[in-house]
Amino acid sequence: MIEQLKSQIIDALNFEDMTPADIDTDAPLFGEGLGLDSIDALELIMLLDREYGIKLADPKSGKAIFASVRTMAEYIQANRTK
Amino acid sequence: MRIESQIEITPASVVLNGKAIEVKESGDKMLVELYRRYAGDYPKFFKMDTLARLGFIAAEILLQERVTESREKRTVDAVILANRSASIKNDNDYLATISDGQYYPSPSLFVYTLPNIVTGEIAIRHHIQGETAFYVLDKPEQLEQIIKSQMSNHRSPIIAGWCECSAPNEYYAKIQIIWNN
Amino acid sequence: MVYCIGHSIISPLGAGSAANYEAIQSGRSGLKIHTDRFDDVEPFCASLFDEPQAFVPLCIRTIEDALAHCTSDICHLPETVFILSTTKGDNLDLLTPAQQIARHFGNPNAPVVVSNACTSGVCAQITAQRLLEAGMYQYAVVVGCDIQTKFIVSGFQAFKALSPAPCLPFSPERKGLNLGEAAATIIYSSEQPAGSDERLWTLETGSIHNDSNHISAPSRTGEGAYQCLIDVLRGTRPEEIALIGVHGTATPYNDAMEQIALERAGLQQTPISALKPYFGHTMGAAGVLETILCAMQVTNSTSYIRPSYIIKMLSGFGGVNAAIRLKIEN
């Protein structure tokens, strides 16, 4: 599931030159690591809805959920409706 | 007004100051090829829609190929672009994310549903804090008139020209570096 | 400089500048919660016309209304240029509606469409000033219009930029912006109108600057907005500015940025006018509509000295910022 999530992130955020192998499961997504910005955060929120049926009521809670691919995967496992 | 340099880009050709630049690819792929050759260090390129990539590449090549002696001559005062179709190609891409039954509006596509974003991308890449503007016009002569009306405001040259993308693999740009005198 | 010889606003708050001015004076707002205007979008708070409006007829009505205040019908003259300020035009087509509008009034010139995100209405006035001062035209009909659609609302919802309730510009409680729709017109002339008893204004100068920071978030230091302010302050002192029409979208970042820019420019004591709690963010119409109402707040009041100066400022996606300075003498 983590591999699939990494592929989805690469697609959603247009990381043209990347493969899932290039993304460290535990590295920070924001700040250093992949250096995502505010638009990327919004796209990840849309990804949760589109692929997993999860609607994030409070975008601020996104910070903890999107800390790394692992935290994202854990949140999805716990909350997915698709 | 004095034209320092000019680039013309079609889906099959790139001509800088009258000389063709060799490319292997065509269409949307050609812009990626040019990115890798002239930039390659700016992953944000892949988030851009085709209109923004087109303008970005045109500005990148124009500015890199400038033969300028002094640091002062390197500043650019403004980025003024125009076209007939605004951001229609990306508008259609965005529309596909809000179609009936599949409603997942994409924020990264939505931000490019304004044609002036390409001028912002160029301004960010080249640290231009001067004027950026986008006009939707019937003919390029109208842009010439608009540029003429404001050139006396600019002590440094400006980037100005036509930048159009109406469908996948269909685009056209003719962009110049222009001085007041 | 160029001279306003007529203006008009048509909005959910009324038809005509006077009606809209009265509405804000009596504290009426067009903002309401809409639950079924568009499919799929979540409920949103916006100022919309009761009946959905067609883009071109709406623009034509506001231009005719502005013309009614002019001493002569200048629209068909070759010395007149039509300038349309809009972000999404008539169903994503920006050029055709401009051409239809110009043709309706018998104007022989190709119209100009300014599409510079939310700053378009101010940029269109700056474009008008330049074309007139360069002697290329004698009159400019600047019309700003945007109609809300599923396209626009869905996008702003995806950006989580909307407030569920009426917006609160510059408030610590602000939660985001409201959308709106309207059409507004300002007609500029290169010649000062002779002995008009309409209380109108002069557009003296304008400035556009990019933050060179981010395509959808403003510079944290308000760089571009600050540069615009100091440009339009040239020739006056901050104390001489009677009123500043701010952008005031009530998003956390925009208002913070504007405040910084105003403070950096020495304008922190100047009264501001934030009109989006009445009209919502009318996008391409905003710069035109809000300029008219800021001017009327001064022209209709005897408490301001004469001449008075007003600044109207806006910011928009793409990192763009714009400002103009008006002079009011009557």
- Chain B contact present for A16, CB below 8 A: yes
pLDDT in tens, C270-318: 999 999 999 999 999 999 999 999 999 999 988 888 899 999 999 999 9
Clarify whether residues C30 and C53 are in a common domain: yes
**Does B72 score more than 70 pLDDT?**
no
Q: Do C159 and A59 touch (CB under 8 A)?
A: no
- pLDDT at C306 (0 to 100): 84
Distances (CA, A) of C104 to C61, C111, C202: 11, 12, 28
- pLDDT at B71 (0 to 100): 60
List residues of chain A with CB under 8 Å from any CB of chain C. Answer: 37-39, 42, 45-46, 59
Mean pLDDT, chain B, integer: 95
Q: Do B138 and C95 touch (CB under 8 A)?
A: yes
From B79, B103, B136, residue closest to C95, measured CB to CB: B136
- pLDDT at A58 (0 to 100): 75
Q: Do C214 and A59 touch (CB under 8 A)?
A: no
- Chain B contact present for A5, CB below 8 A: no
Helices (H) and strands (E) in chain C, counts: 9, 14
From C40, C112, C130, residue closest to B135, measured CB to CB: C112
Give the start-end residues of each E strand in chain C.
2-11, 14-15, 31-34, 44-47, 80-85, 112-114, 139-146, 179-180, 182-189, 202-210, 241-245, 272-273, 308-316, 320-328
Concatenate the DSSP letters of all residues of C158-220 into one string: HTT-B-SSS--TT-TT---B-EE-EEEEEEEESSPPTT--S---EEEEEEEEE-SS-SSS--T
Cβ-Cβ contacts under 8 Å, B123 against chain C: 210-212, 319
Mean of the pLDDT values across residues B28-33? 97
Clarify whether residues C175 and C220 are in a common domain: no
Residue keyed to tokens 């001559």: B73
Half-sphere exposure of C50 (CA within 13 A, CB side): 3
Q: Would you state the structure tokens that stand for residue B144, as one six-digit string? A: 């010439």
From B91, B114, B142, residue closest to C117, measured CB to CB: B114
- Chain B contact present for C87, CB below 8 A: yes
> CB atoms < 10 A from the CB of C90, how many?
20
Q: Which residues of chain A have pLDDT under 50?
A: none
- For the purposes of burial, counting CB atoms within 10 Å of the CB of B159, is it exposed (0-12), middle (13-18) or buried (19 or more)? buried
Q: Do A39 and B107 touch (CB under 8 A)?
A: yes
How many domains in chain B?
1
Q: Do A39 and C160 touch (CB under 8 A)?
A: no
Q: Is residue C195 part of a domain?
A: no
Q: Is residue C194 part of a domain?
A: no
* C38 residue type, one letter: F
Cβ-Cβ contacts under 8 Å, B128 against chain C: 210, 212
Q: Would you state the structure tokens that stand for residue C96, as one six-digit string? A: 């055709």
pLDDT in tens, C99-152: 999 999 999 999 999 999 999 999 999 999 999 999 999 999 999 999 999 999
Cβ-Cβ contacts under 8 Å, B32 against chain A: 16
Which of C148, C164, C189 marks a domain boundary? C189
- Reduced to 3 states, what is the DSSP secondary structure of residue A76? helix
- Chain B contact present for C89, CB below 8 A: yes
Clarify whether residues C50 and C161 are in a common domain: yes
What is the rounded (10 degree) CA torsion for C57, C62, C66, C67? 0
CATH number at residue C30: 3.40.47.10
pLDDT in tens, B58-68: 999 999 988 77
Clarify whether residues C88 and C180 are in a common domain: yes
Q: Do B104 and A46 touch (CB under 8 A)?
A: yes
Distances (CA, A) of B145 to B93, B137, B161, C132: 32, 11, 12, 11
> What are all long-range contacts of B40-48, with beta carbons under 8 Å and residues at least 24 apart?
B42/B125, B43/A15, B43/A16, B43/A17, B44/B121, B46/A14, B46/A15, B46/A16, B46/A17, B47/A13, B47/A14, B47/A39, B47/B108, B48/B112, B48/B118, B48/B121
Q: pLDDT grade, residue B69 (50/70/90)?
A: low
- pLDDT at C46 (0 to 100): 98
**Does C167 score more than 80 pLDDT?**
yes
**Candidates C159, C160, C175, C220, partner chain A, best to mutate (most A CBs within 10 A):** C160
CATH number at residue B42: 3.40.47.10
- pLDDT at C196 (0 to 100): 60
- Cα of first residue to Cα of last residue in chain B, in angstroms, is 5
The parent domain of residue B30 ranges over 2-179
- Chain A contact present for C40, CB below 8 A: no
The parent domain of residue C215 ranges over 202-328
Clarify whether residues C170 and C221 are in a common domain: no
Q: pLDDT grade, residue B96 (50/70/90)?
A: very high
Q: Do A46 and B47 touch (CB under 8 A)?
A: no
Nearest chain C CA: its distance from B97 CA (Å)? 10
Cβ-Cβ contacts under 8 Å, C158 against chain B: 105-107, 110
- How many beta-carbon contacts under 8 Å exist across A and B? 28
Cβ-Cβ contacts under 8 Å, A33 against chain B: none
Residues 6+ apart with CB under 8 A from C236: C309, C325
> CB atoms < 10 A from the CB of B75, how many?
15
Residues 6+ apart with CB under 8 A from C168: C174, C175, C250, C277
**Nearest chain B residue to A34, by CA:** B43
Clarify whether residues C138 and C221 are in a common domain: no
- Chain B contact present for A53, CB below 8 A: no
How many domains in chain C?
2
Cβ-Cβ contacts under 8 Å, A39 against chain C: 216
Cβ-Cβ contacts under 8 Å, A59 against chain B: none
Q: Is residue C93 part of a domain?
A: yes
pLDDT in tens, B98-156: 997 889 999 999 999 999 999 999 999 999 999 999 999 999 999 999 999 999 999 99
Q: Would you state the structure tokens that stand for residue C268, as one six-digit string? A: 């922190």
Compute and round to an integer the Cα radius of gyration of chain C.
Answer: 18
Percent of chain C with pLDDT over 70: 98
**Nearest partner of B79 among B43, B29, B124, B145, judged by Cα:** B124
Q: Is residue C196 part of a domain?
A: no
- For the purposes of burial, counting CB atoms within 10 Å of the CB of C150, is it exposed (0-12), middle (13-18) or buried (19 or more)? middle
Rounded to 5 degrees, what are φ and ψ at C89?
Answer: 55, -145
Residue ranges in B39-127 assigned as alpha helix (H): 50-64, 88-95, 107-110, 117-125
Q: Would you state the structure tokens that stand for residue C181, as one six-digit string? A: 């729709």
Q: Do A14 and B105 touch (CB under 8 A)?
A: no
For residues B84 and C112, the answer to whether their CB atoms sit within 8 Å is no
- pLDDT at B73 (0 to 100): 64
Mean of the pLDDT values across residues C26-37? 96
Residues 6+ apart with CB under 8 A from C197: none
- pLDDT at B180 (0 to 100): 93
Q: Do A38 and C217 touch (CB under 8 A)?
A: yes
- How many beta-carbon contacts under 8 Å exist across A and C? 11
Residue keyed to tokens 């692929």: A51
The ipTM is 0.97
What is the rounded (10 degree) CA torsion for C75, C76, C81, C85? 50
- For the purposes of burial, counting CB atoms within 10 Å of the CB of C33, is it exposed (0-12), middle (13-18) or buried (19 or more)? exposed
Supply angle C-alpha C88, C89, C90, rounded to 5: 120
Q: Do A40 and B108 touch (CB under 8 A)?
A: yes
**Nearest chain C residue to A40, by CA:** C159
Q: Is residue C197 part of a domain?
A: no
Q: pLDDT grade, residue C195 (50/70/90)?
A: low
**Nearest partner of C182 among C80, C4, C27, C29, judged by Cα:** C29
Nearest chain B CA: its distance from A46 CA (Å)? 7
